[in-house]
Structure 1
Amino acid sequence: MIVAELIQKEEITNFKIINAPEDHASEFRGKLENALKLGNAFKSKANIVFNTTEGPKRVETTVWNVTPDYLELKGGVLISTHSLLEIDY
């Protein structure tokens, strides 16, 4: 498990999101789709760790939409799939 500061979803826009040292976007695709299904069907939250210029950040939130390049959270907040370090639910 990666040590990452827990932040609120509303704080994400305060950070500059950058690509992870290794791109795990395709590896995490299945987990993102599952997180989306869990969020839509059961309002279940996912733990998402992503890379920023200030180091890894973690958010516990519901995934609203997934595209090849972004995952969307409530309020139109976007996180690049290329910045993802870890996903758990």
Structure 2
Amino acid sequence: MEYVRVNVSGHVQGVGFRYFTQHTAVEYNITGWVKNEDDGSVLMEAFGDEENLSLFLDVIKKGPSRFAEVQGMDVTTLAGDPQFKSFDIKY
């Protein structure tokens, strides 16, 4: 299992990016959370099987639609098991 913190930059707020992220996480059996940051980026923590997490991050890099544009992803590996029960949108 792998646990990561991801900061996604680009045109990722106001385009359904958090909902896309949540839907994709459920599809790949990833738990964690996602939220908008004040600087216009989106921050998430994600936990799951290493292969599924890699596939999840690949989909996130592409974004949800022609309205979103992911310009960068900063991925940091974290230690431990966060004991997330689901993948939530934080406000």
Q: Same fold (TM over 0.5)?
A: no
- Structure number with the higher helix fraction is 1
TM-score, structure 2 as length reference: 0.30
- Structure number with the higher strand fraction is 2
TM-score, structure 1 as length reference: 0.30
